[in-house]
Structure 1
Amino acid sequence: MGGKSTKFLNVVKQQFICRFNTSTIHWGNEAVLLDGIKTSREILNELKQEIQEWVEGGHRAPSLVAILVGNDPASETYVGKKMDAAQKVGIQSKTERFLDTINEEYLIERVTELNKNPDVDGILVQLPLPPNISEERVVNTVAPNKDVDGFHTENLGKLSKNMNTLVPCTAAAVIEIIKRYKIETFGKNVVVCGRSKNVGLPIASILHSDAKYDLQGMEATVTLCHRNTPPVDLEFYCKNADIIISATGVVGLIKAPMVKPGACVIDVGITRIQDENGRTKIVGDVEFNGVKQKVKYITPVPGGVGPMTVAMLMKNTFKAAKLRAMQ
């Protein structure tokens, strides 16, 4: 074969390789943002319509009570966002505030009273609580059918057994993102970084199940990592993952070299740090700028899982109201 023909074939070969690499592994293409702000608005608009129809059908509006102990600025902000969302969708809501010197027994008595109130559908206890109060004891005082945070031991137990229950809101938010963006999970390798009972464990439980959270056949192969997973092992698992979900609060834990090209990365981490100008900013577990050039999907922080968590709290409150009406 002549020199010109050989040169032409080499050029064609190189073009084919470049096209194959670009279209198959998405290297160099910026990822699709999993927009939690936009998606949460869609969910809240849907809920507003559903609740309006519910009330027009003769039911009272769902009701939500938030318990806020102390004056932690972050907790104040979170509760404010939840109350704003409730108002937007037609959920009646109020916040009961207590000093951080409150007696644990008094707080438990107040939760018990709300449990007995037939006009209250959902109760959320904003965490963290002061160190003199047992979070576990207070959370488990909330009636399971009013536990819209999904933290009660009974609800977590039902979740592990594929039973219909109120799912922890952040775990529900991650699953809803996967659902709304039609990200395939069946038979895929998923790494969940973080094993907290309210986030990491519920996420892993739902993803490996074949029937949970109104989804059939999620059936992923799930690897659960945590703070004692050696870095070299964490990198190995992440490099083989089709989906990485990080919920550790460790800034920069997931870096670009650890991520498989074309993967989906969902960042649940929220950490406040000081930038070079001394201003506070919120960052996640993922080195966003580097990773977004390599993956197919990624959540921003802020603006990803956070807004979705509030939306799922509203969904849980409406679900609790409907369950109450069926009793």
Structure 2
Amino acid sequence: MPGIDAASRDALLDTLRDAAVRDLAWLLLSADLLRPQPPVGALANPFDTLQEAQATLDWLRALDAAPEPLHHELAATRITRLGRYAERLLGWFLQHGPAARLVAAGVPLRRGGVTLGECDFLVQTRQGTRLHWELAVKCYLHAGDGRAQLSDYVGPNLKDRFDLKLAHVLNHQLPLSAREEFASVGYAGPWTPQMFIKGWLFYRHGETSVDPVELDPAHGRGWWVTRSDWPAFAAAHAEKWRTLPRLEWLAPRRHAPLEVRTAGLAFVDAKTLAGQTLHQHGPAMVGAFVEDSVGNLIERSRGFIVPDEWPELARHYARQ
């Protein structure tokens, strides 16, 4: 399927100034976390043709120049979950972008008053193909001591695991639109199910591991260190640091000087950051920033600082 190569994606992200537009561009253009998982787990692609892909780049640049309608859409309801934020961004693209069109979003499937599940997006391409997309944005930390198993990728709060998430997508979410009950919801099929799974995977600094066969080798990568290891790790980096709140976990961050001043963003040294994260209950995602020639602060890398006891708890959770 046609798409945008990594160099073109990064070049575009370097030119986009609005944070929400950058997040949308990253959602559309970043590498998938997974390879296709046949026979059920085909990958979604926002573009059917190279022309649609190129038109989307132009559309994103125009949106970046006048992002107010997107801001209004995002502000209509309070968004606290990263997945919900991603849903709103993708929904905006499907309603207003130059490629596939939205048929319906959040379609519940019920039987006897019991909700069996919900289809994230029903989509029709410009060529008339009818698709059922299941969207997920995940951030997992590798806790497997070099092992190559999907179960070794765990959520920072140890309430989610990549193998369990993939099994749920393949065995429950994607088959929803093919169930007999779905014919009664008013969206006649057949629908072709596809998974739209983006995110970042984080690896312990200084350790090497072999990627599980399920992963796309181009997936987004970060690092993680324990609080005890943080001073030595940070000493090798001269960057400015900032804790990244959950809704900033999509695209790499880029902050203009005016934004830093008006939003009151605090960039600190490594010692100050360690103090800020010391009393946090679980892992904290942080970004390392460098300043360019005109004062923009640009994310160079991202990772998690985890409590010292976290690695052992994570290994135990990975083996359950």
TM-score when normalising by structure 1:
0.30
Q: Which has the higher helix share?
A: 1
Bigger radius of gyration among the two = 1
- Relative contact order: is structure 1 or structure 2 higher (C-alpha 8 Å, sep ≥ 6)? 1
Q: Which has the higher strand share?
A: 2
TM-score when normalising by structure 2:
0.30
